[in-house]
Structure formats: C-alpha cells, structure tokens
Amino acid sequence: MIVNINHKNTTYLVDLSKPIDISIPIDVNTPNINAWYIDDPKIYPEKFNDQALKVSEGSSVNFNSIHFNPHSHITHTECVGHITEKVYSVNQYLQQFFFLAEVVSITPEKHGNDTVITKDQLTYLLKDKQCEALVIRTLPNSNNKKSKRYSNTNPTYLLEDAAIYLREIGIEHLLIDLPSVDKEKDDGLLLSHNAFWNTQGEIRLSATITEFIYVPTKVIDGTYFLNLMIAPFHNDATPSKPILYAINKN
C-alpha cells in the first residue's frame, strides 16, 4: 500500500506494505537481551485449582503472566520521568507517533577506557538534515545485539556535548541500539539523559529516548518515516515497537 504523506510542505511516497521493524522482543525461549544486573524476563502460565492455564495441558485457554523490566529486557521508549523526582508518564506525553527520521551508522571512538559517540561524529553525519527523530546504529552491527548480556560490560555511550547538540538541532526522538545513552557506571550523573531532556532548563516533556533497538545491516543509512509505537503503560518507560518505512520524494 503506497500512500502520499505531506510533511512540512514536502510530499513523500511511503510504501506501508514494507515495514522495517527495529525492535527487539522478549523471547524466553532464546537468549534474551539483559542489562542492569537483574534476572531474565519470565513468561509463564497462571494456575487455577492447581491446573496450568495452558491449552497443551488441558486448559481451554493459554493464560500467561509476564514478568519483565522495560529498561532491562526489551526495546523501550522512555521520557524525562525516567530521571526526575516526578514520574512523568511516556504514555501521557508522547502524543504523536509518526516522524521524519534519519538512520545513521557510527563507529564509536575510543575515549580513555570507554567507547563513545561524539558531537563531531553527529555533526558530520547530520549536517543539513531536517529530521525530528534520529536512529543510531553502532558498528560493528552483529546479531548478538539482540541477545547480549550488557551488565558490567561498560557499553558504548553518548558524550554529554553530543546529547546537547542533538537537543539544540531539534531532535525530539533519539533511538539507539544500546542499553543507555549514558555510561554504565557514572555515579548517577546521567549526563546525556539530563542534557537531552534539558532538565536544567525548560524540560522537554514530549521528547523521548528509545533504547535496545536493532537496525538490520541491510537497512541503508538515510531518511525514513518512523512509526514509534508504544504499549499503553503509565510509567516513565514502556515497551515499544519502532517501525521504519522507506520513503521517496514525490
């Protein structure tokens, strides 16, 4: 299904029949992504009168409960409530779901004992780009991103001035294939989270950060339409399913 979408006085052709799913699901039957030092997610049938509510065991329905943490186990979208005393709800403040997005691939740079994404890298890749959302794919881009155990591995993160730059050029929605935009152990400073959401100024309540995405290698860098779908949890973060659509100017 090909539709015309008018966005900021430019018309794009978008083929809705070819979605590019960049989310990572919870799958308890295979190795699952995990971060932040907690156990793996669980999906299990509830019991009624000592019978598992599972069709294969004689029940009329499958009736599973799910135990997980969005920050640790699945692609998730978070708002500033993640780091503020007042717990703002991403479900309340994310009210639009389609955005012009730029996909960029970045090889992180060495920074002492860390690997980081820098302002200079982003400035080079985003010059003259007009987009509301940024999708960052780190290189190398292997399938193990979908099952990696990140706790105590000091993953790549975004330097504070890079987050400030994204805020200043108007990026409202940042999507990244890492467990966090900040250093794993930074004494709770969360410099890039705070910079992106502007917590020392006028807080950007509608801005979001989506972590634990996976952009397939076959997806080329460039401009896409993004459908940022979230689950309706009133919480600082919620599981999400970001979908990209290739576009052409009409």
Q: Kindly write down the DSSP assignment for every residue of 114-159, as one continuous string.
A: EEEE-HHHHHHHHTT---SEEEEEESS--GGGGT-B-TTS---EE-
How many separate domains does the chain show?
1
Neighbours of 30 (CB within 10 A): 8
Instruction: For 175-221, write each residue's pLDDT tens digit.
Output: 999 999 999 999 999 999 999 999 999 999 999 999 999 999 999 99
64 within a domain of the structure (yes/no): no
CA distance 235 to 78: 8
Tell me the one-letter amino acid at 155.
Answer: P
63 within a domain of the structure (yes/no): no
The CATH number linked to 223 is 3.50.30.50
Q: Kindly write down the DSSP assignment for every residue of 164-180, as one continuous string.
A: HHHHHTT--EEEESSS-
CA distance 173 to 236: 15
Task: Classify residue 142 as exposed, middle or buried by CB count within 10 Å of its CB (0-12, 13-18, 19+).
Answer: exposed
Domain that holds residue 217: 2-26+70-249
185 within a domain of the structure (yes/no): yes
50 within a domain of the structure (yes/no): no
pTM of the model: 0.96
Res 37: pLDDT = 98
Instruction: For 43-70, write each residue's pLDDT tens digit.
Output: 999 999 999 999 999 999 999 999 999 9
- Residue 250 pLDDT greater than 70, yes or no: no
CA distance 138 to 124: 15
32 within a domain of the structure (yes/no): no
